[in-house]
Amino acid sequence: MDDDRHRQSRLVTDDDGGFDAERAHEESLPIEDGEVIDTDELADHQRYVEDRGIYDERNRVNDLTGREWKYATKSVIDEGYPPDVQHDLRSEHGGQKPPRLCADLIGRFSKAGDTVLDPFAGVGGTLLGASFCEHEGTGLREAIGFERNERWVELYREVLERENEERRARGEPPLAEQELRYGDCADLIEAIDDDSVDLLLTDVPYWHMDELEQTRNEHETRESKLGSFDGTERDGDTDANGDGSGTKAEWLEDMATKFDRFADAVTPEGHVVVFIGDMYREQSYEFLSADLARAIESTAPLTLAANLVWYDPTKDLHVYGYPFSFVPSMVHQNVLVFRVEGE
C-alpha cells in the first residue's frame, strides 16, 4: 500500500521544499499525512472519502479507510467514554458498557447495513451503539439482543425513549429502536438463521464480582450488582443477567457450549467480539480472559484473532492491600476478537 500511496500522491511544497499547507488549502486539494491525494491516479478499487482518506473497495471487514484502519488496529483503547446516554438509568445494571465504545467496536468489525447480535444484551449498550453508527459512524446496523432479565429489557426501552426526547429537543435525529428479545439466549438463538449475523458483540455474564477492599486497619467486602461464581442468590434473584452457575469450570463449560451454538449464526467472514474482565479474588489473580478464550477455542469453531484492551482512565482507584500486599486496581477490560474457523 505504501508503494501505491507514493504513486497516487504528490507533494505541495513551498520555496524551501517543505509542505505548503496554505497552498493546499487554497486549492482545495485532498490531503492525507502531509501529502496531496491525486484522485485521478487512484486504482479502480480505491476512492477518496473527504476528510477520511482512501477507502479500498476490497475491504471485507468494515467501512474504514486506510488511515482509519491504522488507528483502529491499536491493541489498547485508551479512551474514557463520557457517562452519557442516560447513564444514571443504565448504571442500575452493574456491568453496562458505554454505547459509544460499542459503536466504535461495531465500526471496526462490521459494515453499514450489517446485522449485529448480542446474546447477553443487558441494558442494550450494543443495541444503542449500533444505532449511534447511523449518526456518528459509518452507517446504521440492525441489532438484535437477547436478555432474560425483564427489568433490563424495560430499562433499554426507557433509556431509548428518554434519550430520543432529549435528542429531539436539541434538534438531533432520534436513535433507531433495535430489537431486544426477552428470554433465554439458549432458546432464542434457535430463531436466528445460520450465517445471518455479521458481528456478534457481547459482554458475557460472570458471577464472582465481590471485591476485597483493604485499608490500613480494616477489611471491607463490597458486593457488586452482579452475582458470584458460587451461584449464591441475592434478594430473591440470581445474578444480574439472570443466570446461575457453580464453579468457574462449570461457568467456562457453559460459556463454551453457548458460543459453539452462537457461532452457527455468524457468517464465514464475520467476527465474534467478547468483553471479559479479569479479577483478583481470594489473594489470587483470576485470568478470566485467557481462561474464556481457551474454553471457547476448544469447543466452538472460532479462532482468537486479537485481544484488545479497553483502558478506562476515568475509573476510580481504591486503596487495595496497602501496606501489606500488592492488589491490582482493575482499570481495564479485555476485548476478545474471534473469527470463524477456517477463514
The mean per-residue pLDDT over the stretch 209-233 comes to: 37
CB atoms within 10 A of CB 318: 16
Given a cut of 70, is residue 82 above it in pLDDT? yes
Cis peptide bond N-terminal to 205, omega within 30: no
Residue 155 has pLDDT above 50, yes or no: yes
Q: Report residue 150's pLDDT band, with 50, 70 and 90 as the boundaries.
A: very high
Q: What mean pLDDT, rounded, does the chain reach?
A: 82
* 335 has pLDDT over 80: yes
Confidence of residue 43 (pLDDT cuts 50, 70, 90): confident
Task: Write out the DSSP string of 228-286.
Answer: -TT---BTTB-STTS---SSHHHHHHHHHHHHHHHHHHEEEEEEEEEEE--EEETTEEE
The answer to whether residue 42 scores a pLDDT higher than 60 is yes
pTM to 2 decimal places: 0.81
For 17-38, write each residue's pLDDT tens digit: 554 455 444 444 455 555 556 6
Q: State the cell numbers at 105.
A: 467496536
Closest CA to 303 of 266, 256, 341: 341
Angstrom distance (rounded) from CA 90 to CA 108: 24
Cα separation, 221 vs 227, in Å, equals 14
User: pLDDT at residue 2 above 70?
Assistant: no
Q: For residue 187, count CB atoms less than 10 angstroms from its CB and return exposed for 0-12, middle for 13-18, buried for 19 or more.
A: exposed
DSSP labels for 311-331? E-TTSPP---STTT-------
Residue 32 has a pLDDT of: 57
- Spans of all domains in the chain: 2-58, 76-340
CA distance 201 to 126: 7
**Cβ–Cβ < 8 Å for 80, 67:** no
| pLDDT tens, residue by residue, 179-204 | 999 999 999 999 999 999 999 999 99
Cell numbers 429537543: residue: 169
CATH architecture of 76-340: 3-Layer(aba) Sandwich (3.40)
Report which of residues 226 and 127 the model is more confident about.
127
Helix (H) or strand (E) holding 130: helix 125-136
Query: Which whole-number Å values give the CA distances from 143 to 104, 133, 179, 242, 317, in the listed order?
Result: 15, 11, 6, 21, 34
Picking from 127, 129, 125, the residue whose alpha carbon sits closest to that of residue 117 is: 127
